[in-house]
């Protein structure tokens, strides 16, 4: 039974049937439900005002305005948040580059981590403005929006793997003290900038073959685990490093004199402060 908007299948008498609202109306929410009632006489319900069969689409746009308002608020909050992040990170990078006395391996890792944050925030703002907030681009589905999505996902991966690099460096410095003086940073560059290309490339190939939606905007696919899985793994490894570093510092606290004990206590506090940085 076609009512002009949706097609309704045969329904037993005295039963309400429902299906998702149509997605071709801008003010309809396709996640909401439209309903139709089959009366006890086996006939579709007729509206008393028109005496015509009637489908209930009330819920389809009841909360649309509120949801759109919330979406726009979140959209602008995200842009402002990333813009503030870029500003503060650029100031930090300027300080690191200006004061050459700060130059060391640890600061080099910080620079790379901050650069990944800046690039990710910049790409996020650009992606939100040019694709997410532009239905015409999404409808045209150009290759460029998928390329932009690829680099956006890549920079997201770089964020977390540079966090992992920070965790590995700190863990090596404190726990594996024999390597404390000099570490080969090219391995960190390979992990921080190179490795994220692997899961992101796998995701892009699989997305193109199995779930090639417009501009790859949909999150309704398990293929995203190709990127999110390694990110979660990096966070878990960092959690292990954090717990092991605290274990080593607490052990040294017990075995040292008061003066050294205060030093290690400061190290424990500093390590706990790194929780947000290392995920």
Are 36 and 115 part of one and the same domain? no
Same structural domain for residues 6 and 87?
no
* Same domain, yes or no: 77 and 26: no
Does the pTM exceed 0.85? no
End residue of a domain, out of 34, 62, 90:
62
Tell the residue number behind the tokens 């706990």, with chain if given: 272
Judgement on whether residues 55 and 68 belong to the same structural domain of the protein: no
Q: Are 160 and 235 in contact (CB under 8 A)?
A: yes
Q: Which domain holds residue 19?
A: 1-62
CB 61 within 8 A of CB 28: yes
User: What tens digit of pLDDT does each residue of 243-253 get?
Assistant: 888 888 777 76
In Å, the largest CA–CA distance within the chain is 91
Maximum mean pLDDT: which of 66-75, 90-99, 268-277: 90-99
The answer to whether residues 88 and 225 belong to one domain is yes
In whole angstroms, what separates CA 125 from the centre of its chain? 13
Over residues 105-147, the pLDDT tens digits come to 888 999 999 999 999 999 999 999 999 999 899 999 999 999 9
Clarify whether residues 69 and 142 are in a common domain.
yes
Query: What CATH number corresponds to the domain at position 193?
Result: 1.20.1070.10
Both structure tokens of 106: 């640890």
Query: Is residue 131 within 8 Å of residue 145, measured between CB atoms?
Result: yes
Going by C-beta distance under 8 Å and a sequence separation of 6 or more, which residues neighbour residue 180? 172, 173
Confidence label for 216 from pLDDT (cuts 50, 70 and 90): very high
How is residue 210 written in tokens? 């199995």
- Average pLDDT (2-31) is 87
């Amino acid at each position: 039974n076609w009512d002009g908007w949706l097609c309704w299948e045969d329904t037993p008498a005295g039963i309400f049937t429902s299906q998702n609202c149509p997605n071709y109306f801008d003010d309809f929410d396709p996640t909401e439900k439209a309903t139709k009632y089959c009366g006890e006489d086996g006939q579709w319900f007729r509206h008393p005002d028109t005496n015509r069969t009637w489908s209930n689409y009330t819920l389809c746009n009841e909360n649309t305005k509120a949801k759109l308002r919330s979406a726009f608020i979140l959209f602008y909050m995200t842009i402002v948040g990333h813009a503030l992040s870029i500003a503060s990170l650029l100031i930090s990078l300027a300080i690191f580059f200006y004061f050459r006395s700060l130059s060391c391996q640890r600061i080099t890792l910080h620079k790379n981590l901050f650069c990944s944050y800046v690039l990710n925030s910049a790409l996020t703002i650009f992606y939100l403005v040019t694709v997410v907030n532009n239905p015409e681009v999404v409808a045209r589905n150009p290759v460029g929006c998928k390329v932009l999505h690829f680099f956006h996902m890549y920079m997201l991966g770089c964020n977390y793997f540079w966090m992992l690099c920070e965790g590995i460096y700190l863990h090596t410095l404190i726990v594996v003290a024999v390597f404390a003086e000099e570490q080969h940073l090219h391995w960190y560059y390979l992990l921080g900038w190179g490795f994220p290309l692997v899961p992101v490339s796998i995701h892009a190939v699989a997305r193109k073959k199995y779930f090639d939606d417009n501009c790859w905007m949909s999150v309704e696919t398990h293929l995203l685990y190709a990127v999110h899985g390694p990110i979660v793994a990096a966070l878990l490894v960092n959690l292990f490093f954090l717990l092991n570093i605290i274990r080593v510092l607490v052990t040294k606290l017990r075995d040292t004199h008061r003066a050294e004990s205060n030093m290690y206590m400061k190290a424990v506090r500093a390590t706990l402060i790194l929780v947000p940085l290392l995920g």
